[in-house]
Structures are given as structure tokens and as C-alpha cells.
Structure 1
Amino acid sequence: MRPIWTGTLSFGLLNIPVSLMSGERRTDLQFRMLDSRDDSPVRYERVNSETGEEVPWKDVVKAFEYEKGSYVVLADEDLKAAAPGGKETVEMAAFVDEAQIDTRYFEKPYVLVPGRKAEKGYVLLRETLRKLGKVGVARVVVRTREYLCMVKPLDDALVLIILRFPQELVDLADFKLPGKATADYRISKSEVAMASQLIESMSGQWTPGEYRDDFRDRLRKVIDQRIHQKGGTTQVRDADEDLPEDATTNVVDFMSLLKKSLDSKKRTPAVGKSASRAAAEKPAARKKAPAKKATVKKAPAKKAASRADAGKPTATRKAAARKRPAKATRKSA
């Protein structure tokens, strides 16, 4: 399995080299769309809505529609300027009780795997979190986007769970929900007792292995039957990083770093590097590139006159052009 990135897990002055690995396995059955007339694959294409012509990737730009039909175009420099600065680091911001985090915030699991010779710091954090019953709340950059996340011990692993930001959740007050007392809904004590008895009789331990995606299993069975069925398949001919080494650590005085972390909130270089070495490895400040002047692309030149018009006198062609309806123009930002 390939890591998403290799970086550090940081809390206080301790920086633990880790690899961020995906903690989920996609089991969805993937389908291709075919043209039923000749079984050719159907492709998605980028088409200009006015000309109907396919647009190459090099001519595609990102734009934000701030009003209906009005766009502001963002250059690559704008996107880079807004991108988060800290990469390949899980930096702890706080430690809280896991029960305080609403389950609606949980989104996607990852696994943090320690680098070579980083086991001591990894186990120290894992077992301390387990002993105190705490989880870490941090920020992490995954594929150019910054996320809120939670780091928690699970068996021998430190698991990183991507969390949703509060703005991504719909406020429960926005829904029409029954919020009065049970008596207001004419629920009797005997009904509550009966419901409690039923729930107790169905209660047990959470054993995820007992649950399977039955729909996928049934669909897979149908596919296998079609594969072995005569005439049930068709042959289709498509038209159409290097991994960094794990970071290493040397013997480190963890007691000293932990004591300094309690006395100061300043961060030090990653474990295993001296301050002078880390400073020497810092890249020189890059000069800011001069800002590019905003340019407005001109509309593509109109196609040459058709062959039918080629033989007509100039005056006749001009008259015909005046009769044609004017083409609607788009509002540029």
C-alpha cells in the first residue's frame, strides 16, 4: 500500500516521523458506460457550450460564479496563495475527551504508521492517550486541502480520523423535530417499558464482522453468472511517485523534550536533527514573482465565409450579415 505522504506527527517539541496511509478499502463495483448500438465506451468530454467543440485541458480555467452568468477567473497563482502552508505535518492543537466530539463530525479514517526508529515516540504518544482517555485534535493537509482531524489510539495503531468543520454540518434547529416531553405525545409509561424491554433483548456487543454489503454480494453473483453465460459478455477495445524513504530518528532524550514542551510552546526541528542542521536545510526565501497583469481573452475569430457566400458580391454578403441575429455575448468578470 502506498502512503498518501510521509511527514511528521507533532505535539509540543516532539516530532514523530510517520506515513499517512488510507484506512478504508473501496469495495464498490465499478461500471463503464457503453453505447448500446455498438458497445463502444462512452467518454466524458469537456465541451464548449457555445461552439460545441471539445476544450483541451490547457485551455480550461477555474472560475467562481458570484452572480448568475458572471464569473471571476482564478489563476494558478491565486489557488497556490490560498493553499495551506504547512504540509506533511499533523500538528496537535489540543487534547480532548473523545465523547465530546459529535459523531456527525467523523468523515474518513487513515492510519499513521511510524517511520524507521520512530517507534519510541509513537508508542509513547499512543499509550499516554490511552491511559488518559484522550484524543488529539489537529490539522492536516491531504492532497492540497487542509482538514480538521482527530488522532486516537486503536489497538497497536494511531488512527487519524478526518473531521468535518462545523460549517459543513446542518444545524439541527433547521429541521422540524419533535422536541417536547413524551407526555405531550401521549406516550405511556407502559409503552416506554415495553420499548426498553425490546431494546434490551436485542442488545449485544458491536461485532462489525457480522455485517456485510448484501447488495454488492448479490450483484457480484449476477455478474459472475453473466460472465459464464453464453453470449453474456462483450469485448470492448478502449479508444483512448517514487516513494520517499521513511524518515529516521536517532536516540533522543524524550524527557528533556517533554520538559521543554511544558515550559515553552515554541517548536523545534524534527526529532533526530540538530537545530543547526535544520536551519541549514531550510530553503532560501524565494523572491516573489511579479504579479501577472489580468488579461482578457478575445473571442475566437469568426469562421471564414462559407463556400456558398464566396461567389457572392461583397455588398450582397454584407447585407446577408446584417440580417443574421447578433450572437449573445457572455459577461466577463
Structure 2
Amino acid sequence: MARSIWKGSIAFGLVNIPVSLVSAESRPDVHLHMVDSRNHARIRYERVNADTGDEVPWDRIVKAYEHQDGEFVLLSEEDLDAVQPKLTKTIEISDFVALDEIDPLLFDKPYYLEPEKRGKKAYALLREALRKSGRAGISRVVIRTREYLSAMFVRDDALVLMLLRFPQELKATSKLELPESGDKDLKPAKREMDLALKLIDEMTTDWKPDDYHDEYREALMDFIEQKVRKGDAVADVKEGEAEADEGTKVVDLAAYLEKSVKERGGKTSSSKAKKSTRTKKHAAKKTARRKSKSA
């Protein structure tokens, strides 16, 4: 049974739907610790006064905001409590918008909304109404004393509450050095564009997220388990040669795209087989890893 963050309700007009908020994320990160190479003891960080060098106990630490260089405004816990949002367990939908109008860059963290037994009928009503309309419900929600903007939409048979970033949290692209769309010197030639579109068509496939895995994490765990089986032996890792500087080369973009299209033509028929092989290898690795752990 999924562990809920809190239990509350969705306010949909006059309809009240009791729900539980459940995290939709699972992050199997590899946690690495910092240790002293001499005796393998963990590294401990101290809270040190920048002026005196003395360690500062927790009961002497307060929070502060630096409003000018070197000048701080001290904030007590009472000050912070006074400006925190009012704790509420109600997700009150204030607006409905077309889901495809929400900039994907605003998506931050997903949660599932699970109905309580007495709210299943109203839950199903809201879910099917959102599915049929293609819209998302916009609301504000308080999670762990912080207020978030959120969008509610349908995924399979579940209502998803997606926490959103505020637009002010996104950096403007105007500060990046980007090629301007109207620059005639950078405008793609017709042949280049045709080849680029052809290459995209050749590489287009159905989106199957299960075909993709965190290959870095799998490789790292395989390496760690190999070291464990060998009694913590250190493998001889050779460094690759530095790549030549490509900055001064003139690239024939059309020729490169044309070559990519030709190579892609020979790979299209075997791409599905390769994906199937990767999936089988992934399953085999997971089975071997479970056996290793049980041993």
C-alpha cells in the first residue's frame, strides 16, 4: 500500500472529494559517502564561526537574510511562522486550463491523488470530466508548510497533482547567446532542411518509456558489486585519449545529415531487435543482482 503524504480533500465547485496525496516518484539513487582514505572513517562537517573559527552549537544558530553585502536581517522561528501559509488540507481548484497550454518547463514534482472509499464516485466523475475536456485544474496546495501552485490532470486511471514552478523561477532565454531566427547567414538551406526532416522521420518511433533505463546507475552498481565479489579489488581503469579540437573545422551540414539518413536506413529494420535485446539484458541484470544480494 502506497504511503500517503497527507489526507485531505479536493474542492471542485461544491463537490468535496476526500483523497490521500501519494508521491509519484521513485528515485533509486546510489548514495555515496565521503570517507578518509587512510582509515575509511566518514567525514564529519562542523558548524564553524567564520570570524573566530569556533564551532557553533545548534542552539546558537539563527536564520538571517543578507539584504546588503555583510548586513543581515535576523529572523526568529516566530517570525518565520508568522509569514508561513495557513495549513490546509484542501486542494481548491480555482481555474481550468487546457493541459497542452502549460509550459512543460513549469512541471516540477508529481503526486498521485488516491480517493478515500466514500469519495470514489466523485473522484471518478472529476477524473472522466478532466479526461474528456483535456483540461487541467489549477489550484494551490500546502505541503509541509510551503504553498505550491499545482495542476491536476489525468494519467491512466489516476488523478495527478503536478506541483508547478512559478514563471518567475525560470531563467529568461534572453541572456543566452542563441542564433537569431531571422539571421539570414544562419538560415538553413533547403537541402539541409529536407535532409534534417528526413532524418527525423527515419528516427521517429512510438514513445515507449520502458525501453529506457538509467544506464549510468546500472553500470555503477554492476561495478560496485563486482568489486565486492572480488574482495574490494580496484580495477585498472585506463583514461581515454583527449578528443581533437573541433572548433576550427568547417562542417558540411548537408553531407553529415545525408550520411545520417543513409546510415539510419540500414539501422531502422534492426532498431526494434536492439531495443528488445537491451530490455532482456536489463531484466537479466536485475535477476542476477537479486540473486547476488540474497547470497
**TM range, normalised to the smaller chain?**
0.7 to 0.9
Which structure shows the higher helix fraction?
A: 2
Q: CA–CA distance in 2 between the matches of 1:177 and 1:51?
A: 47
Q: CA–CA distance in 1 between the matches of 2:62 and 2:187?
A: 60
Q: CA–CA distance in 1 between the matches of 2:233 and 2:47?
A: 33
Could you tell me which residue of structure 1 aligns to residue 20 of structure 2?
Answer: 19
Q: CA–CA distance in 1 between the matches of 2:229 and 2:54?
A: 42
Could you list the per-position Cα deviations for residues 32-76 of structure 1 after superposition, in whole angstroms to 9, with x for gaps in the alignment? 111112111112222222333332222211100111111111111
Q: CA deviation at 1:152?
A: 0.3
Q: CA–CA distance in 2 between the matches of 1:189 and 1:93?
A: 48
Q: CA deviation at 1:231?
A: 4.7
Q: CA–CA distance in 2 between the matches of 1:231 and 1:30?
A: 18
Could you tell me which residue of structure 2 aligns to residue 114 of structure 1?
Answer: 115
2:47 aligned partner, one-letter code: R
What is the RMSD of the two structures over their aligned residues, measured on CA atoms?
Answer: 1.7
SS at match of 2:19: strand
Q: CA–CA distance in 2 between the matches of 1:61 and 1:49?
A: 15
Map 1:52-91; keep pairs closer than 5 Å.
52-91=53-92
Could you tell me which residue of structure 1 aligns to residue 202 of structure 2?
Answer: 201
SS at match of 2:154: strand
8 Å CA contact 2:87–2:145 kept in 1: the answer is no
SS at match of 1:176: coil
Query: With structure 1 as the length reference, what TM-score do the two structures score?
Result: 0.67
Map 1:1-333; keep pairs closer than 5 Å.
1-181=2-182, 183-232=184-233
SS at match of 2:180: coil
8 Å CA contact 2:87–2:142 kept in 1: the answer is yes
8 Å CA contact 2:96–2:135 kept in 1: the answer is yes
8 Å CA contact 2:136–2:153 kept in 1: the answer is yes
Identity across matched positions, percent: 46
SS at match of 1:47: coil
Q: CA deviation at 1:182?
A: 7.2
Structure label with greater radius of gyration: 1
Could you list the per-position Cα deviations for residues 127-183 of structure 1 after superposition, in whole angstroms to 9, with x for gaps in the alignment? 000111111111111111111111001111000111100110112223232233475
**Change over 3 Å in CA distance of 1:231–1:218 after alignment to 2:** closer
Structure number with the bigger relative contact order (C-alpha 8 A, sep ≥ 6) is 1
Q: CA deviation at 1:184?
A: 4.2
Q: CA–CA distance in 1 between the matches of 2:148 and 2:207?
A: 29
2:67 aligned partner, one-letter code: Y
Q: CA–CA distance in 2 between the matches of 1:184 and 1:232?
A: 56
Runs of 4+ in 1 over 4 A off after TM superposition: none
1:64 aligned partner, one-letter code: Y
1:54 aligned partner, one-letter code: E
Q: CA–CA distance in 1 between the matches of 2:140 and 2:129?
A: 20
Q: CA–CA distance in 2 between the matches of 1:118 and 1:186?
A: 57
Q: CA–CA distance in 1 between the matches of 2:175 and 2:8?
A: 41
Q: CA–CA distance in 2 between the matches of 1:231 and 1:139?
A: 50
Q: CA–CA distance in 2 between the matches of 1:205 and 1:99?
A: 19
Q: CA deviation at 1:188?
A: 1.5
**Change over 3 Å in CA distance of 1:202–1:35 after alignment to 2:** same
Q: CA–CA distance in 2 between the matches of 1:121 and 1:86?
A: 24
Q: CA–CA distance in 2 between the matches of 1:231 and 1:147?
A: 46
Consecutive unaligned residues of structure 1, counting only runs of 5 or more, are 234-333
Deviates more, 1:166-175 or 1:121-130: 166-175
Could you tell me which residue of structure 2 aligns to residue 321 of structure 1?
Answer: none
Consecutive unaligned residues of structure 2, counting only runs of 5 or more, are 235-295
SS at match of 1:58: helix
